[in-house]
């Protein structure tokens, strides 16, 4: 049985604080279990590890519904409705985000709640006796990977952030750890965690009942991405060494692929509900179960526009998942990924482009839209394009183009050399850097990569110029002119800032 369907009883115990050391005075709530009481056996630890994975499913962490914090912050998607829910969702792609935004606060709280689960499991599994130390090491590696992944999302969105790596048991400990650590230190912890995962007894690839769990391939790929991000965003002095590390780990991840060439794997199969569980391109995914009210996917139905039937048997009632015209226009003529990813909705109430990349029209999903789409967090096309990016930065253009062409060949698009002969292509993407960024955009659209790609490819000033150069008519109601230097990072949520305005200092511009 795949882990997402295993319910860890009493998951709330993972966040319980046990503040009293005087056991003879301790009075226990018979309806709750403290962490000290819970962690007794290997089975208890496994259930707690499953609870860590469970936290990733939330739309307030990095689950399929988390597009508000990534895609809608970018130029790929967004909403024209600035009235619903007090206009708070609209603030993200309008670049008018306020520290008081409740969606932002919920995201912050959920991310740190998930990290707290990780820390609680890592702290308390030390008191459990394992029959095989390799099992313990595997559980530790899985949890450290998740913690590193969560911190990687947080540090790219907020910059300096609180960094906690152990269970906090008292309010005094919580207060003592409520301060923003420099992002370089946070990255150091992420790297340390992932290096342990790479050296762990985890398998290179998870299959069968292990599908959805962490593998060494995932650890190498994530560590490579972390080094690439450090090289291009925070540490100019170490740029060269970080690029070499990125190259090494991404190459290691690519070397673990269970297939020959990417062109052997149809693009559409990555998103086929009948093939995702065993698809060799997928490295790490959140597994969903078709027809299950608790563990199904809702993304196909949620993204379907009114009057359309391509995504789901559940009728759409609104605009669905809106794709920007700016993205639609970036697809090259004849690119099959466009037809697969977006469609124009003709209903008079919509008259706009919507996302079709995630589909489940099977009877098992039904008219309730309980789809079977797994949420893919990492896949090999991403790794290949990051390798192109690394080699480009290292001045190894021939190798960069070789990796770029792997993705283009799978999509049955002309090679980079041939595409450059087309004035429409060469004028829009005059450099290899812009060509790689373009390929990432059309290949990985709506998979939560675009915002992070923009942060990695451009300095803050370059990013401001990039957004201001776009055509407002292709973007929608949200105002491109609002984008400024402050928008590289989110504001610290107001309720967090006011806890300690000095140690939880606000980001510039808010």
Neighbour-count burial of 23, counting CB atoms closer than 10 A to its CB (0-12 exposed, 13-18 middle, 19+ buried):
exposed
Question: What rounded mean pLDDT belongs to the chain?
Answer: 93
Query: What are the boundaries of each domain within the chain?
Result: 1-19+37-202, 205-271+376-428, 288-373
What pLDDT score was predicted for residue 35?
73
CA dist., res. 84 & res. 246, Å (int): 42
- Tokens at residue 240, please? 């060269």
CA dist., res. 254 & res. 239, Å (int): 22
- Tokens at residue 355, please? 């996302």
Question: 87's torsion region: left (phi>0), alpha (psi -120 to 50) or beta?
Answer: left
What pLDDT score was predicted for residue 293?
95
User: Could you give phi then psi for residue 422, rounded to 5 degrees?
Assistant: -85, 115
3-state secondary structure of 5: helix
What pLDDT score was predicted for residue 25?
38
CA dist., res. 334 & res. 150, Å (int): 37
CATH topology classification for 1-19+37-202: 1.25.40
CA dist., res. 305 & res. 286, Å (int): 25
CA dist., res. 166 & res. 50, Å (int): 18
The DSSP call for residue 379 is: E
pTM: 0.93
Could you write out the DSSP letters of every residue in 179-224? SPBPHHHHHHHHHHHHHHHHTSS--SS--GGGTTS--HHHHHHHHH
What pLDDT score was predicted for residue 45?
97
3-state secondary structure of 352: strand
Looking up tokens 């590696």 gives 141
For 427-478, what is the HEC assignment? HHCCCHHHHHHHHHHHHCCCCCCHHHHHHHHCCHHHHHHHHHCCCHHHCCCC
Q: Of 141, 234, 136, give the one whose Cα is nearest residue 192.
A: 141
What pLDDT score was predicted for residue 37?
80
Q: Taking the CB of residue 24, how many other CB atoms lie within 10 A of it?
A: 4
What lies within 8 Å, CB to CB, of 379 at 6+ separation is 270, 281, 282, 283
CA dist., res. 188 & res. 194, Å (int): 10
CA dist., res. 96 & res. 130, Å (int): 51
- Tokens at residue 488, please? 């590289």
- Tokens at residue 455, please? 């942060």
Looking up tokens 């090494």 gives 248
What pLDDT score was predicted for residue 468?
98
CA dist list (Å): 43 to 50, 131, 148, 166, 239: 11, 11, 24, 21, 44
Residues of the chain under the 50 pLDDT cut: 1-28
3-state secondary structure of 312: strand
């Amino acid at each position: 049985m795949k882990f997402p369907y295993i319910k860890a009883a009493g998951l709330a115990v993972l966040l319980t604080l046990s503040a009293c050391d005087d056991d003879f005075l301790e009075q226990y709530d018979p309806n709750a279990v403290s962490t000290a009481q819970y962690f007794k056996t290997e089975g208890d630890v496994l259930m707690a590890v499953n609870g860590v994975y469970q936290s990733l499913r939330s739309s307030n962490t990095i689950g399929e519904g988390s597009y508000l914090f990534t895609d809608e912050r970018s130029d790929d998607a967004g909403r024209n409705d600035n009235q619903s829910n007090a206009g708070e969702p609209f603030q993200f792609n309008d670049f008018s985000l306020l520290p008081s935004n409740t969606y932002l606060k919920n995201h912050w709280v959920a991310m740190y709640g998930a990290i707290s689960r990780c820390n609680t499991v890592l702290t308390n599994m030390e008191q459990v006796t394992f029959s095989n130390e390799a099992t313990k090491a595997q559980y530790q590696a899985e949890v450290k990977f998740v913690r590193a992944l969560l911190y990687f999302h947080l540090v790219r969105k907020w910059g300096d952030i609180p960094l906690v790596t152990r269970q906090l048991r008292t309010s005094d400990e919580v207060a003592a750890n409520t301060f923003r650590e420099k992002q370089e230190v946070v990255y150091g912890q992420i790297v340390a965690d992932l290096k342990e995962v790479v050296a762990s007894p985890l398998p290179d690839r998870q299959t069968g009942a292990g599908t959805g769990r962490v593998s060494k391939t995932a650890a190498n790929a994530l560590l490579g991405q972390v080094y690439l991000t450090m090289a291009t965003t925070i540490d100019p002095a170490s740029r060269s060494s970080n690029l070499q590390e990125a190259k090494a780990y991404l190459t290691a991840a690519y070397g673990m692929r269970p297939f020959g060439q990417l062109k052997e794997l149809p693009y559409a199969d990555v998103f086929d509900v009948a093939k995702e569980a065993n698809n060799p391109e997928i490295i790490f995914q959140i597994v969903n179960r078709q027809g299950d009210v608790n563990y199904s996917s809702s993304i196909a139905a949620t993204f379907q526009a009114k009057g359309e039937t391509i995504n789901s048997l559940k009728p759409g009632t609104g605009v669905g998942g809106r794709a920007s015209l700016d993205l639609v226009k970036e697809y090259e003529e004849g690119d099959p990924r466009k037809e697969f990813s977006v469609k124009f909705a003709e209903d008079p109430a919509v008259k706009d482009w919507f996302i079709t990349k995630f589909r489940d029209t099977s009877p098992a999903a039904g008219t309730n839209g309980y789809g079977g789409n797994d949420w893919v967090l990492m896949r090999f096309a991403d790794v290949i394009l990051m390798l192109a990016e690394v080699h480009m930065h290292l001045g190894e253009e021939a190798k960069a183009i070789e990796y770029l062409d792997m993705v283009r060949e799978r999509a049955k698009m002309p090679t980079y050399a041939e595409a450059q002969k087309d004035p429409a292509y060469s004028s829009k993407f005059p450099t290899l850097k812009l060509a790689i960024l373009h390929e990432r955009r059309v290949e990985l659209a709506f998979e939560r990569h675009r915002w992070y790609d923009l942060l990695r490819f451009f300095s803050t000033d370059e990013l401001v110029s990039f957004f201001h150069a776009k055509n407002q008519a292709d973007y929608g109601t949200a105002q491109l002119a609002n984008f400024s230097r402050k928008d590289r990072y989110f504001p610290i949520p107001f309720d967090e800032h006011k806890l300690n305005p000095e140690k939880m200092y606000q980001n510039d511009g808010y």
